[in-house]
Structure 1
Amino acid sequence: MQRFFAKETLQRLFASFYAETVPETPETPARPKDDDTPPLSPRSLRGLAHPLRMRLLAMLREDGPATASGLAARLGESSGATSYHLRQLASYGFVEDDPDRGTGRERWWRAVHRGSRVESFEEFERHPDPEVRGALTTFLHHHAASHAEQLSTWLGTMDDWPDEWRSTWDISDFSVRLTPRLARELGEKVHALIDSYRGRVPEQTEDSARVRIHFHAFPRRTD
């Protein structure tokens, strides 16, 4: 498999906080329903833009329901801290109690939606409330840091995987001259391509794994 580690860059190891992976079946629709990936509002962005809350929500979306103590153990945090931030996430509508798992002694939490999306970054970048603009900066920088962390984890653990998986990963770069319209078109086509693979492999399929996909596309000055 040919790989490119030069200037030509469009990474094909993509992932998105806006539509985290969840267990899928062959009946899963190709694209998520809008109510399963609701848009962030200025209020919900302020409630989410905290590094620990973003990690907690990402874990619940990726791995399914969990308790505050279980999440604390995985993240190296105190259960008091995870409990507090889970309650904050619940107040903004991101998580809720899991009635099928909760007991009198343990409170189980689950994600309400498969993901979240940003319909217009300009809405937040130009918002009159500086707290909203600051929340966007926090959100984006933590999101980018989580991508780097996931890639670093793969690089450090890929020897634990079978040869078949070690021959499939990619960290290619490409540089393409585009107009804003074509850049938007490229992004839409990449998202559509990824969506076309959803639901093709049922959970528990032998030799299958969840694959994280990171897509970063942005202009660069050449002067």
Structure 2
Amino acid sequence: MQQSLCNAIFVRMTEEQERPQKPQQQYRTLDARSLRGLAHPLRMQLLSALRQRGPATASQLAERLGESSGATSYHLRQLAAHGFVVDAPEHGKGRERWWKAADEGLDFDDALLKDPDPAVRGAADVFLHEVATTHARELSTWLGTRNDWSRQWIRATDMSDMTLRLTPDLARELIREMHDLVESYRALAPAEGTPDAEQVRIHTHAFPFTTN
């Protein structure tokens, strides 16, 4: 079975023993240096595009994201300097440089939000806000294009929210079980080219809030 492309971001609890078990894929754990190299909206969009749709050139990515090829080329080189993307010479035809993602997802430890360096804390904040912005953008894109999809796919989507009264321990347990459930479906993923099979984006959010 051909492995599907992946674009996952896991925000972990600080305590190692409380972290959900990592799936059996190649995920990169962000540290202070790599976070500062990634925490830029266009860089995160470039990395996401390469994970979701596979290798591409700076020009192709510029057209896809509505940016200049000069901007995408510069930020791809910055991503490469921090090890997030690598050359994909097997796709090259001619002189244009092809890029691919170096890993399948990111593991973000919220201890970075408490780093003694304010620049790291700022980068962590930028990173998380861009993740939230990406989720909102992807959902808005789906709502704007849903009529382009078949009735079967329209009926196979979800946009729900729920409120529970939980303790922190119960919330962590819920998050672990949600992640485990999603990962259990990765083993069932149909091979590339299977009729009606598409990439499906899944967002999970769990956070406390006050009604005051």
TM-score w.r.t. length of structure 1: 0.84
Dislocated runs of 4+, deviation >2 Å: 30-33
Structure showing greater relative contact order (alpha-carbon pairs closer than 8 Å, 6 or more residues apart) = 1
CA RMSD of aligned residues (A): 1.6
Q: Separation in 2 of the partners of 1:221 and 1:139?
A: 24
Aligned with 1:171 (options 155, 159, 162): 159
Q: Separation in 2 of the partners of 1:59 and 1:213?
A: 16
Instruction: State how 1:29-44 maps to structure 2 within 5 Å.
Output: 31-33=23-25, 36-44=26-34
Q: Separation in 2 of the partners of 1:109 and 1:59?
A: 11
Aligned with 2:35 (options 26, 45, 61): 45
Shift of residue 70, structure 1, vs aligned partner: 0.4
Aligned with 2:9 (options 18, 21, 25): 18
Q: Separation in 2 of the partners of 1:194 and 1:213?
A: 9
- State whether residues 7 and 51 of structure 2, in contact with CA within 8 Å, keep that contact through their aligned partners in structure 1: no
Instruction: State how 1:44-193 maps to structure 2 within 5 Å.
Output: 44-118=34-108, 120-121=109-110, 123-193=111-181
Q: Separation in 2 of the partners of 1:130 and 1:104?
A: 44
Q: Greater strand percent: which structure?
A: 2
SS of 1:152's partner is helix
Deviations 1:4-33 (A, max 9, x none): xxxxxxxxxxx96417xxxxxxxxxx9224
TM-score w.r.t. length of structure 2: 0.88
- State whether residues 98 and 109 of structure 1, in contact with CA within 8 Å, keep that contact through their aligned partners in structure 2: yes
Runs of at least 5 residues in structure 1 that lack an aligned partner in the other structure? 1-14, 20-29
Runs of at least 5 residues in structure 2 that lack an aligned partner in the other structure? 1-5, 11-21
Q: Separation in 1 of the partners of 2:171 and 2:178?
A: 11
Deviations 1:74-105 (A, max 9, x none): 11111111010000000000000012113451
Q: Separation in 1 of the partners of 2:139 and 2:113?
A: 28
Q: Separation in 1 of the partners of 2:187 and 2:90?
A: 24
Shift of residue 172, structure 1, vs aligned partner: 1.2
State yes or no: 1:213 paired with 2:202.
yes
- State whether residues 18 and 116 of structure 1, in contact with CA within 8 Å, keep that contact through their aligned partners in structure 2: yes
- State whether residues 41 and 130 of structure 2, in contact with CA within 8 Å, keep that contact through their aligned partners in structure 1: yes
What one-letter code is carried by the residue in structure 1 that aligns with 2:123? Answer: A
Deviations 1:80-136 (A, max 9, x none): 110100000000000000121134511000000001111x30x21111111101101
SS of 1:221's partner is coil
Q: Separation in 2 of the partners of 1:199 and 1:158?
A: 27
Q: Separation in 2 of the partners of 1:58 and 1:127?
A: 25
Percent identity over the alignment?
55
- State whether residues 7 and 48 of structure 2, in contact with CA within 8 Å, keep that contact through their aligned partners in structure 1: no
